[in-house]
Amino acid sequence: MVIFLTVSLLLYGLLNGYILKRGIQAFSSYPVSRLLFILTFSFLILSFPLSRIIDGQFSHRLSELLVRPGIYYLAFMFYFFLLIFLKDLIRWGYRLVHQPVTKSNLLAVSNPFSFSVILALSLVILFAGHLNAVNPRIKTLSLTVDKVAAGRQELRAVMLSDIHLGMYNRSDRLAALVKKINELEPEIVFFAGDIVDEAIGAEEEEKMVRLMKDIKAPLGLFACPGNHEYYGGLEKNIGYLERAGVQELLDKAIKVDNSFYVIGRKDWTAVRFGGHRASLEDILAEGQVDSSLPLIVLDHQPIRLEDAQQAGVDLLLCGHTHAGQLFPLNLINRLIYEKNWGYLKKGQTQIYVTSGTGTWGPPVRTGSRSEIVWLTLKFKPAEVN
């Protein structure tokens, strides 16, 4: 953790040092603009680190005031850096085939106009990405399971993951999600992990509990933990989620409506924290699961998907990847996972990896879309004697 924090702060400092240097060069002939740039960006650069320090030491309301500009700045910084660096690459290439760049040239580091255009473009990207992140689409998915579910021929479900409720994804975001869920009138709701991002204050916790209790799903709300439930304190997070009516399944199988099973797995983070993650075979055996009924598994991270296939699972629901969230990181994300977003079938096992309903870090998406999955499962009709 210390190494990760050190590397992160070093990278953060280098990126912002580069941005500040280019800004100072761009406004070198305009002292007032240069001073305004330095003051504004110094505040933004320090906002997020200070909010975490203040919250960790004092849990002060000042941290809530600092975290919002700080968290948006993370996404802005990313694109501002990329665009400035792209300009530098073009300038270096121009120098290889032409004369040195003059001060009046748009490619010059001292040109305030081109720097201001890059700044404005970064703001446009940030704004568009924010709108994309906070307006999740309804992803409709209809699947057929070749098993009889006693007493029913279909199941209407809503699936969500990666809401990341916490300091910057607040109860107002959850209120909007609850409204959308209830409009779909699901019979059951599945949460594929990372409902929460970190430990939250008592006042906000109570708001979230009340809001989640308003979700209408007659067959219940079921969840598996994600990695962030562990980071924020698993027992605490599970405690208030269960108070909200969410059944957290930790390597556990439960029969629902005497028709099908929902199996929730511990996240791989449990192993990193020194815990144990049971195999699917052991979970099914311990729960005395009747495999002739449909088996639906919630597993946060889409890793070792073949395990579900080998265990005879009918449907595996995952999240975690955010489908990359930010361009061009989404391109790398595709290389890491066998399936980073969407539908996949392995043998008789159907798999859906959602891009997630919320965001981690800045509420900005430029490489994927937020989604709520509206899932209809159709079961094999029972034979009539």
384: confidence class by pLDDT, cuts 50, 70, 90: low
User: Residue 255: what pLDDT?
Assistant: 97
- Collapsing DSSP states into helix, strand and coil, what is residue 373? strand
Task: Return d(Cα 208, Cα 277) in angstroms, integer.
Answer: 28
User: Residue 201: what pLDDT?
Assistant: 67
274: confidence class by pLDDT, cuts 50, 70, 90: confident
Mean per-residue pLDDT, 268-297: 94
User: Residue 236: what pLDDT?
Assistant: 84
CB atoms within 10 A of CB 382: 12
Task: Return d(Cα 9, Cα 299) in angstroms, integer.
Answer: 32
Query: Is 269's pLDDT higher than 80?
Result: yes
Tokens standing for residue 285? 């055996």
4: confidence class by pLDDT, cuts 50, 70, 90: confident
pTM: 0.92
Q: What is the DSSP letter of 291?
A: T
Mean per-residue pLDDT, 210-235: 92
Mean per-residue pLDDT, 255-265: 97
Query: Is 198's pLDDT higher than 90?
Result: no
User: Residue 138: what pLDDT?
Assistant: 97
Query: Is 225's pLDDT higher than 80?
Result: yes
Query: Is 284's pLDDT higher than 70?
Result: yes
Task: Return d(Cα 130, Cα 126) in angstroms, integer.
Answer: 6
User: Residue 105: what pLDDT?
Assistant: 84
Least confident of 58-62, 205-209, 343-347: 58-62
Mean pLDDT, the chain, rounded, equals: 92
Question: For residues 224, 230, 236 and 240, what is the CA-based torsion angle, rounded to 10 degrees?
Answer: -30
User: Residue 232: what pLDDT?
Assistant: 75
What spatial distance separates the first Cα and last Cα of the chain, rounded to whole Å?
62
For each of the domains in the chain, give its residue range(s) and CATH number, in order of start: 2-132 (no CATH), 136-379 (3.60.21.10)
Strand order of the sheet with strand 137-145?
137-145, 371-379, 154-160, 188-191, 221-223, 246-248
Tokens standing for residue 346? 């392995």
User: Residue 214: what pLDDT?
Assistant: 95
Residue-by-residue DSSP string for 9-77: HHHHHHHHHHHHHHHHHHTTT-HHHHHHHHHHHHHHHHHHHHHHHHHHHH--HHHHHHHHHHHHHHHHH
Instruction: State the Rg of the chain over Cα.
Output: 24
Cis ω for the linkage preceding 328 (within 30 of 0): yes
Query: Is 199's pLDDT higher than 70?
Result: no
Residue 154, H or E segment:
strand 154-160
60: confidence class by pLDDT, cuts 50, 70, 90: low
User: Residue 312: what pLDDT?
Assistant: 95
pLDDT tens digit sequence for 363-375? 999 999 999 999 9
User: Residue 172: what pLDDT?
Assistant: 84
Residue pointed to by tokens 């409506």: 257
Phi, psi of 352 (to 5 degrees): -130, 125
pLDDT tens digit sequence for 29-50? 999 999 999 999 999 999 988 8
* Cβ-contact 200, 225 below 8 angstroms: no
Q: For 215-253, give the secondary structure using H, E and C.
A: CCCCCCEEECCCHHHHHCCHHHHHHHHHHCCEEECCCEE
pLDDT tens digit sequence for 68-116? 899 999 999 999 999 999 999 999 888 888 777 777 788 889 999 999 9
Least confident of 64-73, 76-85, 301-310, 376-385: 376-385
User: Residue 1: what pLDDT?
Assistant: 59
Query: Of 322, 323, 369, nearest to 130 (Cα)?
Result: 369
Task: Return d(Cα 211, Cα 174) in angstroms, integer.
Answer: 7
Tokens standing for residue 21? 């240097």
Query: Is 22's pLDDT higher than 80?
Result: yes
Classify residue 223 as exposed, middle or buried by CB count within 10 Å of its CB (0-12, 13-18, 19+). buried
